[in-house]
Amino acid sequence: MKAIILAAGIGSRLRPLTNDKPKCMVKLLDETLIERQIKIFHSYDINDITIVTGYKSEVIDMPGVNYVNNTNYETTNMNESLFCALEPSNNPVLVTYGDIVFEPKIVQQMLEITNDIRLAVRTDWKKYYQNRTMHSLSEAENVLIENGRILEIRKNISKSLENQQIGEFLGIVLLSSDQIKILLEKYSDLKKNHVGVFHSSSSLSNAYLTDMLQEMINCTTVKPVFIEGKWFEIDTPEDLKNTEKLIDKF
DSSP 139: G
Q: What DSSP letter does each residue of 70-93 carry, written as one string?
A: -TTTTT--HHHHHHHH----SS-E
Q: What is the mean pLDDT of each run of 10 residues along the chain (250 residues)?
A: 95 91 93 96 97 95 94 92 95 97 96 94 92 86 97 94 96 97 96 95 95 96 94 94 80
Helix or strand holding residue 154 (H, E): strand 149-155
240: containing domain: 2-246
| Tens digit of each residue's pLDDT (9 = 90 or more) over 53-85 | 999 999 999 999 999 999 999 899 999 999 999
* Total structural domains within the chain: 1
Cβ neighbours around 72 below 10 Å, total: 15
Using DSSP, state whether 222 is helix, strand or coil. strand
Exposed/middle/buried for residue 17 (C-beta within 10 Å: 0-12, 13-18, 19+): middle
CATH code at position 108: 3.90.550.10
| Rounded (10°) CA dihedral 194, 200, 201, 206 | -90
